[in-house]
Structure 1
């Protein structure tokens, strides 16, 4: 065989990564490594008798090196300002980024500190109060900085109009669904004309604040992680993504609308004790949910063939459009 045939997405060997990372970070020789999640970035967990770590390996098609370096910078700033986050570790040479010459080309990886605790889906008042407080504290930092390297920007062009342009071929045989998405996108933009957006807080959003991305320890301390989507935008985007946790629970009949309003209200009250929101910011939160779901529909479209997954079949696409209609019904008033 003259050469190894190229691949568009390889999965790096956990055994080989273990040997590399033990050497690169002087970890205990007993450290184990196993693949935890295979996705647009692959996640491995490393553990020994006293320590745990998370190693994330990115695909160049999804995350460029300068974007990864921006995330490293952001997390170190957050940590330095007293925010509890899973943060990048440096190797024995003082480097954050490990590079691997994989079949598809260079892959970049980061070793992170482990977020102690566990995911809690049934959040009680003490969890919601702590979460509101901690996200507000995080926003106090992210609203005052400018990173040296680029991160995505969340605006109507990047979350509505470009996604719809890119998605149009996918909807060739679902024209009514595409027409609905185009119409509601314009309604969102029109709705924002009613708000004084000059008063909206702006900075770096996590943009994926679901309970799967923060752990509570036994003392209810929170550690945030998975800043893959972190980018610039209205900070209320983070409140909107957390509202989606309740939205999905409502869709699955796991919580009532009344309980959603109570719990999300508890969270907002705790948040505003640290960072007050304007009336227009509070009113705008639900409409950003439309942008979030259209943005992720394009994300699934862009990354479908690398997930080896059932995403983005016509049935799945129609399900997502129906979900956006349900969001509109529950939270929006056009």
Structure 2
């Protein structure tokens, strides 16, 4: 019987283990197991002395040239002394593996393991370290141009394209769609008040939640998961970290006063390395609206292959409510 085409397969951990042991000359006792099934699947490989992360991308989410750009970016960051989980090179000199999966070609990268752990409630010393390390990372990403393309975070890609593509999804939620359309226009109008010519621009991580960096026992930070890395205002990364405090407050895990104090400690530490203009500081919260609308489109686009079983009208309305709460908490139009 002919094999029927699949839209999304999960590659065998056993087969991957055998392939990667040979390709990278790893310890034959290395084990491999699926860690996260997502728009890109993540596996963990480990033996008695070492751990690795293997990420395999879905072609519909990341084309080969975008992966090459991510690898290039991480190689540059590592060479400049930034603490990142970086791509490893196999015995033939390749940093990207290719597999002929059921749905077609898929590309994968073996990464160094980020030692340490996630810390959700950061103390002052950790906030200072984080602010300075992100600023140092931005010193690198603001001064390079990659050979291959990455996404661009502009109002077109984070507001207007998402709203155009989401219009059908909101067919039965006209009130919510009208709100999003209105707030998008207000964000753009607000930015007309800022001197954006003086905003730092470069490659953003665009997902600087604590889940994407580890602190080791000595307090050193390793950043990882550059899956969304793209070009835009560098304050986008400060905005994504502000989202950590937004959700922490909504979940009653921190007071408003402590959240403001902690974020200001982080911002002050960042500015010890990379000063920000007054307009950049004021603009940070307004980019939060673009971030949430961008991810609404991301959830919509990847619904089929991400097993995101909760993209219901109720869930969508909840996400719009979050944007309203963000506006109430941080914005002053």
Equivalent-residue separation in structure 2 for 1:307 and 1:89 (angstroms) = 27
Count the aligned residue pairs: 333
1:58–1:107: 8 Å Cα contact kept in structure 2? yes
Give, in angstroms, the shift of residue 7 of structure 1.
0.5
2:168 partner SS: helix
Give, in angstroms, the shift of residue 310 of structure 1.
2.1
Equivalent-residue separation in structure 2 for 1:151 and 1:84 (angstroms) = 21
Could you give the per-residue CA deviations for residues 213-266 of structure 1, whole angstroms, max 9, x where no partner exists?
A: 000000110000000000000000000000000000111111111111000000
2:186 aligned with 1:190:
no
Equivalent-residue separation in structure 1 for 2:258 and 2:79 (angstroms) = 36
Give, in angstroms, the shift of residue 307 of structure 1.
1.6
1:311 partner SS: coil
Give, in angstroms, the shift of residue 271 of structure 1.
0.2
What pairs up with 1:37-48 in 2 under 5 angstroms?
A: 37-48=36-47
Give, in angstroms, the shift of residue 165 of structure 1.
0.1
What pairs up with 1:305-316 in 2 under 5 angstroms?
A: 305-316=304-315
Equivalent-residue separation in structure 2 for 1:9 and 1:141 (angstroms) = 36
2:302 partner SS: helix
Runs ≥4 in structure 1, deviation > 3 angstroms? none
Equivalent-residue separation in structure 2 for 1:110 and 1:311 (angstroms) = 29
Equivalent-residue separation in structure 2 for 1:109 and 1:257 (angstroms) = 41
1:300–1:311: 8 Å Cα contact kept in structure 2? no
Hey, what does 2:270 align to over in structure 1? 271
What pairs up with 1:1-334 in 2 under 5 angstroms?
A: 1=1, 3-334=2-333
2:299–2:308: 8 Å Cα contact kept in structure 1? no
Equivalent-residue separation in structure 1 for 2:307 and 2:86 (angstroms) = 30
Give, in angstroms, the shift of residue 309 of structure 1.
2.6
Unaligned residue ranges in structure 1 (runs of 5+): none
Equivalent-residue separation in structure 2 for 1:167 and 1:322 (angstroms) = 16
Equivalent-residue separation in structure 1 for 2:139 and 2:9 (angstroms) = 39
Equivalent-residue separation in structure 1 for 2:169 and 2:112 (angstroms) = 40
1:220 partner SS: coil
C-alpha RMSD of matched pairs (Å):
0.5
Equivalent-residue separation in structure 2 for 1:106 and 1:81 (angstroms) = 32
Q: TM-score, normalised by structure 1?
A: 0.99
Equivalent-residue separation in structure 1 for 2:289 and 2:269 (angstroms) = 25
Give, in angstroms, the shift of residue 305 of structure 1.
1.2
Q: TM-score, normalised by structure 2?
A: 1.00
Give, in angstroms, the shift of residue 57 of structure 1.
0.3
Unaligned residue ranges in structure 2 (runs of 5+): none
1:82 partner SS: coil
1:111 partner SS: strand
